[in-house]
Amino acid sequence: MRNGDYVGVYSPLEGLDVSHVGIVVRHDGQVWFRNASSLAANRKVVDSPFLEYMRAKPGIVVLRAE
């Protein structure tokens, strides 16, 4: 994963490719998933450890703009 890659969380629902999107951010030697959280406690842009966030997800789709 590169800094700036767009990541979509795969959705198994018919007619829906992804259920959530974010951007890969690398800093402090770690990979983060920057996304707009809809959780009531957040409702803002947050950085989450990438692997921790994706661990329970069914898959991802990555777009790299060149």
Each residue's pLDDT tens digit, 16-54: 999 999 999 999 999 999 999 777 777 789 999 999 999
Enter the tokens of residue 33. 């998933």
CA-to-CA dists, residue 66 to 3, 6, 14, 51, angstroms:
12, 12, 30, 24
The Cβ of residue 7 has, within 10 Å, a number of other Cβ atoms equal to 22
- The residue with tokens 């703009």 is 65
pLDDT value at residue 43: 74
Residue predicted with more confidence, 25 or 66: 25
Q: Is the pLDDT of residue 62 over 80?
A: yes
What are the extents of the domains in the chain? 22-57
